Amino acid sequence: MSKSYVVIAEVRDGKLRQVTLEALQSIGLAKEHEDTVAAVVLGHQISNIAEQLSQYVSGQIHVVDHKDLEFYNAEIHFSVIKEVLDTLSPHAVFLGHTASGRDLAPMIAAYLNAGQLSDVISIEKTESEVRYTRPLYAGKAFEQKIFTEGPQVITIRPNNIAVANISDAQAEIITVEYSPPLSLRTIVRDVIRKTSGKVDLTEAKIVVSGGRGVKSMDGFKPLQELADVLNGAVGASRAACDAGYCDYAMQIGQTGKVVTPEIYIACGISGAIQHLAGMSQSRIIIAINKDPEAPIFKLADYGIVGDLFVVVPLLTEEFKKA
Ligand code: FAD
């Protein structure tokens, strides 16, 4: 019997987040041929999102378009999602391992009486089962999990699953009516986002990060220049945030954001385990540190022993020429 797989799409600033496509790709890896895939997308003025999604989903796209859904609100979004899920009876629900995905997943799992698996980085299907891999102990170990029964709720770490080219899939778009009960009217009027630049840190392909070695707020300027040339984002260690050199929105690590870019450039960062928890899965790690014994060099694919205030501007100049 075919099973129903559902992805909860994520929209930010009127754009579909890349992690939604990665979640759809994950479903492709986990499902059987005859299983169906549906997407649920909530927001305001999102007809273009539904069109975009229809290129990746071969089943149904449930669109709930209302001004109260413009900004994420756990109570309101969950109340809508559970109504849509009632019509779909899903075998599995996939979300991004993002702030809202992490918020919604346990609520959905409790509602469906499902098992939940968070922060999945890869999926492998054998003849008899689907194995989900996720990191443990701040990325020092990995575990593989299988579901033996019941519905499943899974969050996917951004930037880990490659998205295949657009297929010729054309989904059926279903408009879901929503009239919010007075008790659930939204009180969010605006979202003021603290970001380090134009590129979202968790979705950036290149991240240039600064640590205590950056020494001041001004010390981040050469890092921002390098990130701009590479179309990347700027991150930071907690020590740099604690020292007031940058905003906590930029913190990467165990108590900050988790990033998995193609290239991570660590500048003046020693490589404490709590920092590695947020970036050790990056494809290529480049460390710039004046201490040749800095632990970050044990993890780095490329290491530059030197003063970051000399090395970073040199890199920026070289990349400008490229
Ligand atoms: P340091 O360890 O002080 O390293 C600075 C580095 O800069 C040194 O290696 C030095 O050689 C180099 N340097 C100095 N000047 C230059 C220069 N001019 N050029 C090149 N190199 C230079 N940390 C995080 O980052 N993220 C977290 O989420 C996080 N969570 C934590 C949670 C808990 C519960 C705890 C206890 C700690 C946490 N920490 C976290 C803190 C973590 O333990 C480290 O203290 C922190 O990561 C160190 O930051 P750093 O590497 O920037 O600073």
Q: What is the pLDDT of residues 87-130, one digit of tens each?
A: 999 999 999 999 999 999 999 999 999 999 999 999 999 989 99
Q: How far is the CA of 281 from the centre of ligand 1 (A)?
A: 18
Q: State both tokens at 202.
A: 């968790």
Report which of 77, 141, 145, 139 is spatially closest to residue 111, judged by C-alpha positions. Answer: 77
How many Å apart are CA 45 and CA 68, to the nearest integer?
Answer: 11
Q: Which pTM was predicted?
A: 0.83
HSE-CB at 151 with a 13 A cutoff on CA atoms is 22
Question: What's the rounded mean pLDDT across residues 305-309?
Answer: 98
Q: Which residues are annotated as a binding site for FAD?
A: 212, 237-238, 251-255, 268-275, 289
- Is the pLDDT assigned to residue 164 strictly greater than 80? no
Ligand 1 nearest-atom number relative to CA 212? 52
* First-last CA distance in the chain: 54
Residue 211 scores a pLDDT above 90:
yes
Ligand 1 centre to CA of 121 (Å) is 26
**By alpha-carbon position, which residue is closest to atom 48 of ligand 1?**
239
- Using CB distances shorter than 6 Å, the residues near ligand 1 are 211-213, 237-240, 251, 253-256, 268-270, 272, 274-275, 278, 288-291, 294, 307-309
Task: Using the Cα atoms of residue 8, residue 13, residue 16 and residue 22 in order, give the sign of their dihedral.
Answer: negative
Residue 241 Cα to ligand 1 midpoint, Å, equals: 10
Q: What is the pLDDT of residue 275?
A: 97
Residue 185 buriedness (CB in 10 A; 0-12 / 13-18 / 19+): exposed
Give the per-residue pLDDT at 57. 87
Handedness of CA 238, 241, 247, 248 (dihedral sign): positive
pLDDT at residue number 184: 60
pLDDT at 155 over 70: yes
Compute, in angstroms, the gap from residue 259 CA to the centroid of ligand 1: 17
Is the pLDDT at 191 greater than 70, yes or no?
A: no
pLDDT band at 83 (very low <50, low <70, confident <90, very high): very high
CA 6/CA 154 separation, integer angstroms: 10
Pocket test for ligand 1, best of 265, 267, 275 (most atoms within 8 A of CB): 275
Question: What ipTM score was computed for the predicted complex, to two decimals?
Answer: 0.99
Q: Residue with the nearest Cα to atom 3 of ligand 1?
A: 212
pLDDT value at position 97?
95
Nearest CA to ligand 1 atom 9: 270
pLDDT of the residue at 202 = 87
